[in-house]
Amino acid sequence: MKSFSLLTIRYIIGACFYVAPATLQVFISTQYQLIGEIREKTKASGKSGSKQAYH
């Protein structure tokens, strides 16, 4: 039973290490999409307004 539990723990850790980068990649890509949409909206609203926001 002890060896079985160790194997399951190793499997879970391995799965976490395998899944974590993928989930992070998806999260980062979605964040970039959101930032892109916000930038497009600011450009559409007015370049002068976006310039004022930046400075």
**What confidence category does residue 49 fall into, taking pLDDT thresholds of 50, 70 and 90?**
low
Between 39 and 1, the more confident residue is: 39
Q: How many angstroms separate the CA atoms of 10 and 53, rounded?
A: 50
CB atoms within 10 A of CB 41: 10
**Does residue 42 contact residue 53 with C-beta atoms inside 8 Å?**
yes
- Alpha-carbon distances, residue 54 vs 6, 13, 26 (angstroms): 54, 43, 28
Instruction: Characterise 36 by phi-psi region: left (phi > 0), alpha (psi -120 to 50), beta (else).
Output: alpha
pLDDT digits (tens, 9 = 90+) for 31-44: 999 999 988 888 87
pLDDT digits (tens, 9 = 90+) for 11-38: 999 998 888 888 889 999 999 999 999 8
**What is the reported pLDDT for 26?**
92
